[in-house]
Amino acid sequence: MDDRPLRNLTGLTGDGLRKAVEYMYDTFDIIDAQLAARGLQPISGLVEPAKLSSMVGNLLGAGLANFSHGLYQRNRPHAFPDLVPQRLGLPDLELKTALETNYPKGHLPKEGVYITFRYVLGGVDGTYVRGDRSSTVWVWEVRIGHLTEQDFSISNTAGDSGKTAVIRTNSLKAMSLVMQDERFYPYVRRWA
């Protein structure tokens, strides 16, 4: 993990990022254990993928705020940015998540500093087979960077659930790679 881009842009550390991801994993484990005790499916089987991505983002946001050493605080729900700086000179932070090889998206494009998390659904034991969705969230990639409105592709298709702004391929690739877990890599070939 090269946390220099993370530290330079936000003041956050790689250790804090790792702890935020573990916090999200632990929270889902607690939820899934309670569901299993009642004979129910894991949470990933009970909610649609978009809602799961939202839950992943909310838990990661809570974890980042918890392990930021007072640098950031969570904003109120459905407000921009996701994380509000608590010290001068730090940027607002927006978090975006996406399942597998999907690109992170939001409702409206906004300029700012973004942290993107892409994840897969693997086995509870940490196994992952590309193309097979299982039940447990595993983060495979974290990127950070400053995005402008031009870094988003905007869709407002009739019959769609509303406006969506997907981060463009070249813009996502230009963001600094902070973490990548090869065990959960969902592409067939290397992704530059």
pTM: 0.93
CA neighbor of 95 nearest in space, from 112, 2, 71, 174: 112
**Residues 30, 36, 37, 43: is their CA dihedral positive or negative?**
positive
- Rounded Cα distance, 40 and 56, in Å: 20
Tell me which fold the domain 4-184 belongs to: ECO RV Endonuclease; Chain A (3.40.600)
Report whether pLDDT(106) > 70: yes
- Rounded Cα distance, 151 and 132, in Å: 30
Per DSSP, 169 falls in state: H
The tokens for 68 are 């930021």
> 47: Cβ–Cβ under 8 A, 6 or more apart, which residues?
55
- 151, 109 in Cβ contact below 8 A? yes
Q: What type of residue sits at position 45?
A: G
What is the per-residue pLDDT for 6?
96
pLDDT digit string, tens, across residues 121-180: 999 999 999 989 999 999 999 999 999 999 999 876 665 555 789 999 999 999 999 999
Tell me what the mean pLDDT of segment 89-103 comes to.
96
Beta-carbon neighbour count of residue 115 at 10 Å?
28
Percent of the chain's residues with pLDDT above 90: 85
CA neighbor of 69 nearest in space, from 45, 87, 47: 87
